[in-house]
């Protein structure tokens, strides 16, 4: 469970996040939807304690992110916008590194790692150095690395960015599996169909503010648009940065 209350963050004069608040519940997929530069990544960075909010609170399973960032990080699995694998290490070694930083005992580490390697269908690449990995292989490795400590809450920043159709489909299946396991899944996207297909709840962000927070159906009703894409355009008030 992730709760965000009235978050603010400014860089100089630019208000990147200007009063964002929402809740992502366990056993649901929550989509953070918004055009490029709307403040999605900055919001997520405050969630996983990389940045400290100027104002407002982040609670993960009831723990304040500013007061106890280490406890919050232990409860989060994070796929940041920057995937950043270590290219001189193999996929397995990349996963192991994060597992040890999470403090997993070695036997648990092996079991979890192999389960993830299997779940993400990456047996064929697991012992290759990540240098030269395709975008899809990189995302798989980064996701395995992020979930190695079996976190209740999963944050994925634009997870399908740069993936081909097959990889995107596989990733969506995987996210549904995470939801079925009862986890709280929060992901950001600027792709309409993806959000519509996956989300139990959509939080639309534009210009650093939440402009809508509802189920996909409620969103369609609210805007009077049958098509979610039209609903989105109406909500953010322009077609700026909208990509499919």
Partner 1 sequence: MNTLQTTPLRRSRAFLTVFLKEVRENLRDRRTLTSAFLTGPLLTPLLFVMLISFTVNRELDKAEQPLKVPVIGAQYAPNLVGALEAGGVVPQPAIADPERAVREQRADLVLRIAPGYAEAWRKGEPVQVELIYDSSQRDSGTPVDRVTKLVEGYARQQGAMRLVARGLSPGVAVPVVVAKRDQATAQSRAVLMFNMLPYLFVLTIFIGGMYLAIDLTAGERERQSLEPLFANPVPRWKIFLGKLAAICAFSTASLLICLLAFGVTGRFVPTEKLGMEVNLGPAFALHVLLLQLPLIVLLAGLQSMVAAFAKSYREAQTYLSLLMLLPILPSIALMVMPLRPKDWMYAVPLLGQHLGILDLVRGEGIGAVPLALCLGGSALAALVVALVTMQLYRSERLAISG
Binding site for partner 1 (CB under 8 A): 45, 48-52, 70-71, 73-74, 76, 78-89, 93, 97-98, 100-103, 105, 142, 145-146
- Min dist CB 69 to partner 1, Å, is 8
Q: Which is nearer to partner 1, 45 or 112 (CB)?
A: 45
Rounded distance between C-alpha atoms, residue 140 and residue 142, angstroms: 5
Q: Measured from the CB atom, is 95 or 210 closer to partner 1?
A: 95
Q: Are strands 29-33 and 201-206 parallel, antiparallel or unpaired?
A: parallel
Helices (H), 69-156: 69-75, 91-101, 106-119, 135-147
Q: How far is the CB of 79 from partner 1 (least distance, A)?
A: 8
Nearer to partner 1, 142 or 231 (CB): 142
Give buried/exposed letters for 35-56 (b at 16+ CB in 10 A, else e). Answer: bebbbbbbbbbbbbbebebeeb
Tokens of 213: 């927070």
Q: Minimum distance between the CB of residue 85 and partner 1, rounded to whole angstroms? A: 7
Shortest distance, CB of residue 139 to partner 1, whole angstroms? 12
What's the min distance (Å) between Cβ of 28 and partner 1?
Answer: 22
Closer CB to partner 1, residue 105 or residue 237?
105
Structure tokens given for 126:
């697991």
Angle formed by the axes of helices 91-101 and 106-119, to 10°? Answer: 130
Q: Specify the residue, 16 or 219, whose C-beta has the smaller distance to partner 1.
A: 16
């Amino acid at each position: 469970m992730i709760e965000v209350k009235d978050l603010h963050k400014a860089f100089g004069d630019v208000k990147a996040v200007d009063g964002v608040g929402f809740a992502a519940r366990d056993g649901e997929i929550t989509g953070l939807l918004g055009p490029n530069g709307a403040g999605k990544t900055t919001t997520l960075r405050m969630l996983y304690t990389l940045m400290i909010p100027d104002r407002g609170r982040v609670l993960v399973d009831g723990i304040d992110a500013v007061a106890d960032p280490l406890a919050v990080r232990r409860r989060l699995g994070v796929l940041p916008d920057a995937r950043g694998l270590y290219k001189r290490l193999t996929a397995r070694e990349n996963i192991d590194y994060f597992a040890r930083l999470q403090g997993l005992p070695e036997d648990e580490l092996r079991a979890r790692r192999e389960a993830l390697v299997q779940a993400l269908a990456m047996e064929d690449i697991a012992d290759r150095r990540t240098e030269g990995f395709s975008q899809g292989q990189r995302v798989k490795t980064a996701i395995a690395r992020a979930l190695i400590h079996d976190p209740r809450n999963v944050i994925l920043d634009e997870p399908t960015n740069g993936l081909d159709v097959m990889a995107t489909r596989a990733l969506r299946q995987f996210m549904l599996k995470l939801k079925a396991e009862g986890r709280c899944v929060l992901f950001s996207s600027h792709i309409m169909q993806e959000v519509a297909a996956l989300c139990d709840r959509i939080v639309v962000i534009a210009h650093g503010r939440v402009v809508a927070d509802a189920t996909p159906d409620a969103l369609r009703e609210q805007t009077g648009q049958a098509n979610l894409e039209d609903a989105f355009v109406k909500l953010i008030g322009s077609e700026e940065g909208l990509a499919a």
